[in-house]
Amino acid sequence: MLEQASVFRVDESTDIGKGHFSRCTTMAAHLIALDIPCLFICQYISEGSKARLQQLKIDCCEIDTSNPTTEISDAYKSWEIIQHYVFAKNILLVVDSYRLGFVWESFLYDKVTRLCVIDDLNGRMHKCHMAIDQTYGVTQEQIKKLLPVTQLHCLGSQYALVGKDFAELREFSLARRKDKKTKAENILITMGGSDPVNATSLVLDALQRYERGKKLKITVIVGELCPHLEIIQQRVAGMNVSAIDVLINVSPKKMAQLMAACDICISAAGSTMWELATLGVPTLAMQTADNQQKVLDNLSAEWSVYSLGKFQSLTPVRLCEMLLDILNGKINLHDLARKIAKVADGKGVERVVETLLSGRLR
C-alpha cells in the first residue's frame, strides 16, 4: 500500500471553462514530481485534456453523464471510484468545482486524510481541511466565517497555481520589459479556454477600426473548448486593415513563450491573470464572467492591469478608443509591467503543495 496518493475532482466544459482543470493539472504535476500518484475524477473532460493527463501519466475516471447527478450522488460516485482505484494510507482529495460544495464535502470530509477545496467564488461555505483562494487581495478575515473547520489556508495570488513553464520564463520576460520606451506592437489576445461570450470577436471588431500608425502583429489564442472558432476565423479573414497582421493559434502548447514574447495582452480577467502576472505582461483585462469582477476590481484599483470593464458594456467603438490609449503611448507599459509582476511570482504551486503536505497527516 502506498503512503499517500492524491485525487482531483474537477470538470471542464464550454460553460465551466478550462481554468479549473488547468490549475488542478498544475498542482498534480508538482505532486507527480514528488512521486505522489494522482487520479482525476471528471464528469466533463475534453479529448485534449485526456491526452494531457496521459502525458503526465495521470489516470482519469469519468463519472457517467447519462443520468443527472446531484451533489450527494456525485459524492457517492466519487467515493466509490476512490475506494476502487486508490490504495494508500493517506488520501489527499482536492475538489475544484462551482457545482460541488458543502454537501459534497461533508460526505467525504471524514473519509479522506485531507480534503482541499479550491474556490474563488464569494459567499460559499465549505467543510474542508484546507482552502485555496488565489484571488488577489483576499484575506482570512474576509472569509473565515465561510470556513468554520478549515485549519490550512492558502489565500491570495501568492498561491496562484501557475505552471512551471511560466515560472521558468519569468526572468526572461521581465528583463525584456525594463525598457521604458517599449511600445505595443506585438499583441496577444486570449479570452480563456472556452470564451463562451465570444469576447475575442469583440476585440477583433475593435481592432478592425485601427486605421493608421505602426504595424501591429496580433496573435489570437483560441481554446479547444471555444464554440466560436469558425466565427473568429471568419472575422480574421474579413479584416481589411493593412497595418495589422493576425495569426490564430488554437490551443497552443507553448503558451508561456507566446506570452513572454508579446508586448501587451488583451485578456479575460480569469485565471490567465496569474500567468500574465508571473511574466509581468502589461495587460488590458475584461470581465467576461461574474466571478472575475473582484479580481479585476482589485487589480485595476492598484493599476496592476488596465481595466476594460464588463464585456456587456463594451462596443467595438468604445473598445477601440481604449485600445488607442495604449497604442498611442498614453498608458505607460513599463509601469503596468512592473506592477503586475508583483502580483504573482510563479512559485504559488510550491507553496500550495508544501501546505498540503505539511503537519501531521492523520
Q: List the chain residues with pLDDT less than 70.
A: 212-213, 360-362
Are residues 23 and 113 both part of a single domain?
A: yes
Decide if 83 is inside a domain.
yes
> Given this model, what pLDDT does residue 213 score?
66
The sign of the dihedral angle between the CA atoms of 268, 270, 276, 281 is positive
Work out the number of other CB atoms within 10 angstroms of the CB of residue 217: 15
CATH number of residue 173's parent domain: 3.40.50.2000
Decide if 310 is inside a domain.
yes
DSSP class per residue in 307-355: EEEEGGG--HHHHHHHHHHHHTT-S-HHHHHHHHTTT--S-HHHHHHHH
Q: Do 264 and 188 contact (CB within 8 A), yes or no?
A: yes
DSSP class per residue in 57-79: T-EEEEPP-SS---HHHHHHHHH
Are residues 113 and 181 both part of a single domain?
A: no
Are residues 112 and 175 both part of a single domain?
A: no
Are residues 146 and 269 both part of a single domain?
A: no
Decide if 362 is inside a domain.
no
> Given this model, what pLDDT does residue 209 score?
86
**Tens digit of pLDDT for each residue in 303-355?**
999 999 999 999 999 999 999 888 888 888 999 999 999 999 999 999 999 99
Alpha carbon distances (Å) from 320 to 85, 196, 206, 323: 53, 22, 5, 5
Distance CA 47, CA 199 (A): 24
- The grid cell for 129 is 481541511
Q: Do 43 and 11 contact (CB within 8 A), yes or no?
A: yes
Our measurement of the distance from residue 324's CA atom to the centroid of its chain's CA atoms, rounded to an integer in Å, reads 27
Strand partners, 309: 286
> Given this model, what pLDDT does residue 139 score?
86
Are residues 151 and 262 both part of a single domain?
A: no
Are residues 158 and 16 both part of a single domain?
A: yes
First to last CA, the chain: 16
Number of residues in the chain: 362
Decide if 205 is inside a domain.
yes
Are residues 277 and 131 both part of a single domain?
A: no
Are residues 239 and 182 both part of a single domain?
A: yes
In the chain, the number of structural domains is 2
Are residues 141 and 201 both part of a single domain?
A: no
Are residues 126 and 208 both part of a single domain?
A: no
Closest CA to 119 of 83, 90, 150: 150
Which residues touch 276 (CB under 8 Å, ≥6 apart)? 259, 265, 267, 283, 340
Decide if 361 is inside a domain.
no
Are residues 257 and 294 both part of a single domain?
A: yes
Can you give the pTM of this predicted structure?
A: 0.93
Are residues 81 and 222 both part of a single domain?
A: no
Q: Where are the alpha helices (DSSP H) in 100-254?
A: 102-108, 140-143, 164-168, 170-175, 199-207, 229-238
The values of phi and psi at residue 253, to 5°, are -80, -20
Work out the number of other CB atoms within 10 angstroms of the CB of residue 34: 10
For the sheet containing 216-222, what is the strand order? 244-250, 216-222, 186-190, 264-268, 283-287, 306-310
- Domain encompassing residue 253: 165-340
**Tens digit of pLDDT for each residue in 258-281?**
999 999 999 999 999 999 999 999
Distance CA 338, CA 329 (A): 16
